[in-house]
Amino acid sequence: MTTATEKWPPLDPGTRVKTTSKKTSDGEWMPEARAARKWGVTGRILVHHDSHGLCYDVQHDDGSQGCYEPTEFEVLPNVEWENIVIRGDVQVNGEAGPKIIINIVAPKSGLFMVTVDPEGKELSRFPVPTR
Judged against a pLDDT cut of 50, whether residue 2 lies above it is answered with no
- 36 vs 120 pLDDT, higher one: 36
- 130 vs 43 pLDDT, higher one: 43
User: Within 10 A of 108 (CB to CB), how many other CB atoms are there?
Assistant: 10
In the chain, what are the domain boundaries?
16-75, 83-127
Dihedral (Cα; 39, 40, 44, 45), 10-degree rounding: 40
- 96 vs 130 pLDDT, higher one: 96
Give mean pLDDT, residues 41-68.
91
Query: 16-75 maps to which CATH number?
Result: 2.30.30
Which run of H or of E encompasses 31? helix 31-36
Closest C-alpha to 19, from 36, 1, 2: 36
Per cent of the chain over pLDDT 90 is 25
Which run of H or of E encompasses 104? strand 95-105
Confidence of residue 125 (pLDDT cuts 50, 70, 90): confident
Average pLDDT in the chain:
75
Per-residue pLDDT tens for 86-124? 555 666 666 666 665 555 555 555 566 666 666 667 777
What's the distance, CA 119 to chain centroid? 30
- What is the model's pTM? 0.57
The answer to whether 35 and 26 have CB atoms below 8 angstroms apart is no
The Cα 41–Cα 60 span in angstroms is 7
The answer to whether 105 and 83 have CB atoms below 8 angstroms apart is yes
**Angle value at C-alpha 127, between 125 and 131, nearest 5 degrees:** 155
